[in-house]
Amino acid sequence: MATSRVSKHFLFQLIFLALIAFNRANGRSLTPDFYKHTCPNLVYTIKTVVDEVMSVAPTLGGPLMRMHFHDCFVRGCDGSVLLDTPNKTEKYAIPNLSIRGFQIIDKVKSAVEKVCPGIVSCADVLAAVARDVTVALNGPSWEVEFGRRDGRVSTVNEALANLLSPFANISTLKQGFQAKGLSVKDLVVLSGGHTVGTSHCAAFNNRLYNFTGKGIQNDDADPTLDYEYVPKLKSKCKFGDRNTLVEMDPGSFKTFDLSYFSLVAKRRGLFQSDAALLDDSETRAYVKLHALKDKAGFFKDFADSMIKMGRIGVLTGTQGEIRKVCTKVN
Ligand code: HEM
Ligand SMILES: *[C@@H]1O[C@H](CO)[C@@H](O)[C@H](O)[C@H]1NC(C)=O
Ligand SMILES: *[C@@H]1O[C@H](CO)[C@@H](O)[C@H](O)[C@H]1NC(C)=O
Ligand SMILES: *[C@@H]1O[C@H](CO)[C@@H](O)[C@H](O)[C@H]1NC(C)=O
Ligand SMILES: CC(=O)N[C@H]1CO[C@H](CO)[C@@H](O)[C@@H]1O
C-alpha cells in the first residue's frame, strides 16, 4: 500500500518535472500578456525609443534584428549576447565581430527601467526590439511573446560552436537549425532577414578571388555565383579586403521586402550560406516562389518563424534573473 502510494506520488512528480522541462524547451510559458499588469506600457516604451533611433539611424535596424538571432542561437534567448564581463564573452566571437547597436539596447533598457524597474528582462527587450526594427524597415509585425529571463553566462566558445558560418553548406545549415528545434522552412524564411543590412567583405571575399585556391590571376570565383555579378562585387571588395561594408540587398537594404529571394534565385546571394538555399529542394522551391510574388506569404512566415526562434531554450519562472543592466549580471 504505502510503497504504491509513494511510487504514485513519485510518478506525479516525474510527470510534473517532465512538463516543466518541456515548457522550458519550447518556450510554452511565454505569452504576449506576460507584463500586462507589471509593465502595461512596455511595448509602447520600447517602440518609442526604437522609432526614434530608426528615424536617425536606419542602418541600425539590420544589426538589431540580427542580435536577437545571435542571442537565441547561443544558450537560448537569454540575453547572453549582451554580456560584457571580464571573461571573453559571446561578443568576442568571430561571427560577432560585426554586431553593432549594443548601445541602443542599453538605451531601450534604461527607458524600460524608468517605467518598470527590475521587471523586464534584457532577453525580452531584444525580442521586442527585433520586431520593432522589422516594422520600421517596412517589414511584417507580430505579437511578441514575453516572459524570458536573463542568463548569467556567456562564453566565446559556445558562440563559436553555435553560430552558423556564412561559408556553411546546406547540410550544415539544416543541422544547425534542427539542433535549435527549427525547421528547414524556418531556415529559408529567416535567411530572408538578409533583405536588410550590410556585410563586411570578409564574409564573401573568398567567393570572388580565390575560391578553390587556384589563385587570383586564374579567375577563381565561386562558380555558383552569377558570373556577371562577380565584377560588381569585386569593384566593392578588393582582393584581401575584409572591412568594407556592402549592402546585402543592393538598392533596397533599408527595406524589408522580397528582393532577397530574387537575388538568391538569380544566383546573386552574397554568402555561400545564401547560395546554399538552392541546393535543397524545399528551400529552393521556397526561394523560387517568393522571388516572384507572395509578399504576404513571406511576411506571415517570417513573423511565425521569428516567434518560434524567440522560444529557443528560454529561461522562465525562477530560472536566471532580471538583469538591471544588460551588459552585466546582477
Ligand atoms: C542561416 C544562417 C545565417 C548566416 C550564416 C548568417 C550570416 C550573416 C553574416 C556573415 C552577416 C554579415 C555580418 C557582417 O559582416 O557585418 C549577416 C548579416 C545579417 N544577418 Fe545573418 N546569417 C544567418 C541567419 C540570419 C537570421 C536568422 C537573421 C534574422 C532573422 C539574420 C539577419 C541578418 C541581418 C539583418 C544582417 C545585417 C546586419 C547588419 O546590417 O549589420 N541572419 N548574417
Ligand atoms: C566567466 O568564466 C568563469 C570561468 O570559466 C565562469 O564560471 C563564469 O560563469 C563566467 N561568467 C560569465 C558571465 O559568463
Ligand atoms: C558540408 O560542410 C561540412 C562541414 O564543413 C562537411 O563536413 C560536409 O562534408 C559538407 N557537406 C557537403 C554535402 O558538402
Ligand atoms: C589562394 O588560396 C590558396 C589555398 O588556400 C593559397 O595557398 C594561395 O596563397 C591563395 N592565393 C592568393 C593569391 O592569395
Ligand atoms: C574579436 C573581436 O573583435 N570582438 C569584438 C566583438 O564585439 C565587441 C563589442 O562590440 C568588441 O569589443 C570586440 O572587440
123-171 tens-digit pLDDT: 999 999 999 999 999 999 999 999 999 999 988 888 888 899 999 999 9
* Closest ligand to Cα 85: 2
Determine whether the shortest distance from the Cβ of 91 to ligand 5 is under 6 A.
yes
How far away, in angstroms, is 272 Cα from ligand 3 center? 12
When the pLDDT of each residue in the chain is averaged and rounded to a whole number, the result is 90
pLDDT for 9: 53
Distance between CA atoms of residues 95 and 100, nearest Å: 12
Establish whether 132 is an annotated binding residue: no
**80 to each of 39, 141, 184, 307, how far by Cα in Å?**
23, 25, 26, 19
- Residue 307 confidence (pLDDT) above 80: yes
Task: Give strand pairing partners of 77.
Answer: none
Give the start-to-end residue ranges of the domains of the chain.
Answer: 170-308
pLDDT for 19: 46
Lowest mean pLDDT among 6-10, 33-37, 117-121: 6-10
Among 75-89, 144-158, 282-296, the range scoring the smallest mean pLDDT is 75-89
Output the pLDDT for position 1.
Answer: 39
Task: Write down the pLDDT at residue 99.
Answer: 79
For residue 34 the three cell numbers come to: 506576460
Give nearest CA residue, ligand 3 atom 3. 172
Q: Give Rg (Cα) of the chain.
A: 21
Q: Which tens digits make up the pLDDT trace of 40-63?
A: 999 999 999 999 999 999 999 999
Using the mean position of ligand 2's atoms as its centre, give its distance from the Cα of residue 328 in Å: 12
Torsion of CA 22, 26, 32, 34, to 10 degrees: 40
Check residue 26 and give left, alpha or beta (phi > 0: left; psi -120 to 50: alpha).
alpha
The reply to whether ligand 1 has any atom less than 6 angstroms from the CB of 237 is no
Answer with the residue of higher pLDDT: 20 or 182: 182
Q: What residues have CB less than 8 Å from 28, skipping those under 6 apart? A: 22, 311
74 is in an annotated binding site: yes
| Cα angle 182-185-186, degrees, rounded to a multiple of 5 | 45
To 5 degrees, how large is the angle CA 141–CA 327–CA 59?
45
Band of pLDDT at residue 73, cut at 50, 70 and 90: very high
Give the pLDDT confidence score for residue 217 in this predicted structure.
74
Residues with CB under 6 A from ligand 4: 210, 213, 215-216
Instruction: Report residue 214's pLDDT band, with 50, 70 and 90 as the boundaries.
Output: confident
One-letter amino acid at 233 equals L
Cβ-contact 198, 62 below 8 angstroms: yes
pLDDT at site 211: 95
Q: How far is CA 187 from CA 8, 177, 282, in A?
A: 43, 7, 10
Residue 136 region, left (φ>0) first, then alpha (ψ -120 to 50), else beta? alpha
> What's the whole-number mean pLDDT along residues 205-212?
94
Q: Which residues in the chain belong to E strands, given as ranges?
A: 198-200, 245-247
- From 133, 199, 312, the mutation candidate for ligand 1 (largest count of ligand atoms within 8 A of CB) is 199
> In this model, does residue 14 exceed pLDDT 80?
no
Exposure string of 227-246, with b = 16+ CB inside 10 Å and e = fewer, is eebbeebeeebeeebeeeeb
Q: What is the pLDDT of residue 239?
A: 93
Task: Tell me the per-residue pLDDT of 243-253, one tens digit each, with 9 for 90 and over.
Answer: 999 999 998 88
| Average pLDDT of the segment spanning 277-281 | 98
Task: For domain 170-308, give the CATH number.
Answer: 1.10.420.10
